[in-house]
Amino acid sequence: MQGQNQQQAYDRGITIFSPDGRLYQVEYAREAVKRGTASVGVRTADGVVLVADRSARSPLMEEDSIEKLHTVDDHVGVASAGHVADARKLVDIARRYAQRNQLRYDEPVGVESLTKEVTDAIQEYTQTGGARPFGVALLFAGIEDGEPRLFETDPSGTPSEWQATAIGNGREQIMTHLEDEYSEDLTLGDGIALALSALAAASEDALDAVNVDVATADAESGVFRKLDREEIQDYVEDLDVDAEETDE
């Protein structure tokens, strides 16, 4: 009975390590991320691409109410996987930090320092009694000193930088596709095509432009922007054409 009570303490308490050094609540938060719809990030020489699966749970749901991509500042944005409400809270933290940096130093916030500010906030919730970890992972994409940067956050509060990565459901399949197809000489357009094809590789259904959001951070202009539906449709149609040619 005593052993069972101890197991429950490890299981429920965020501040208690298990005997093998694990924090179960953090691992459960990672499972929440895995259940979320996928987001993909690809860094190229010309900029960074974020692609997010925004499939609606019901045809009655308003499509514009589904938020998977968020603008943090003119030059940086975020994609999420996991609990959307947790993502919105962390995006608010990122926006406030970006605004403070602009007011204090009169310059855009660095993508790396912005990511670490958010992961510091995430980490606090892994050692605070009466709280729970954030059940979401984020991809930060932006331009810093003219260079494209892509970072991933984890529910443990760990930041990591990537050339290409994915979070959410189907991550293993998406990462396999990215590892096979990624090249450092990709253009920004190539990066969009790669991210879309990687997302399609992990789905049993055909890729639909209505269910995908795409954004880019362009190194030349230094601007983060979301693509409109017509632009996304063009890229999806190009993928369909390439797939048909390959089959033939």
Is residue 199 within 8 Å of 192, Cβ to Cβ?
no
Alpha helices of the chain — where are they, by DSSP H?
2-12, 24-35, 84-105, 111-124, 171-181, 188-201, 229-247
Q: In angstroms, rounded to a whole number, what is the distance separating the alpha carbons of residues 115 and 238? A: 33
DSSP string over 192-214:
HHHHHHHHHHT-SSPP-GGGEEE
Domain-embedded: residue 75: yes
pLDDT in tens, 70-84: 999 999 999 999 999
What is the average pLDDT across 39-50? Answer: 97
DSSP state of 225: E
pTM: 0.92
- What confidence score (pLDDT) does residue 31 get? 97
Structural domain that includes position 154: 17-247
Evaluate whether residue 52 is within a structural domain. yes
- For residues 217 and 79, the answer to whether their CB atoms sit within 8 Å is no
CA-wise closest residue to 156 among 22, 51, 248, 61: 22
Does residue 130 fall inside a structural domain? yes
Residue 168 resides in a domain:
yes
Q: Give CA–CA dist 76/144, Å, rounded.
A: 9
Question: Is residue 117, in this structure, part of any structural domain at all?
Answer: yes
Q: Which CATH number characterizes residue 160's domain? A: 3.60.20.10
Dump pLDDT digits (tens) for 156-203: 999 999 999 999 999 999 999 999 999 999 999 999 999 999 999 998
Q: Please give the tally of structural domains in the chain.
A: 1
Q: What is the pLDDT of residue 114?
A: 98
pLDDT (tens digit, 9 = 90+) per residue, 79-121? Answer: 999 999 999 999 999 999 999 999 999 999 999 999 999 999 9
DSSP state of 228: P
Q: What are phi and psi of 160, to 5 degrees?
A: -145, 145
In a domain, 3, yes or no: no
Residue that wins the pLDDT comparison between 157 and 242: 157
SS (H, E, C) 130-168: CCCCCCEEEEEEEEECCEEEEEEECCCCCEEECCEEEEC
Q: What is the pLDDT of residue 242?
A: 57
Residue 7, in any domain of the structure: no
Indicate the SS3 state at residue 79.
strand
Q: In the predicted model, what is the mean pLDDT of residues 41-47?
A: 97
Cα gap 49→91, rounded to integer Å:
18
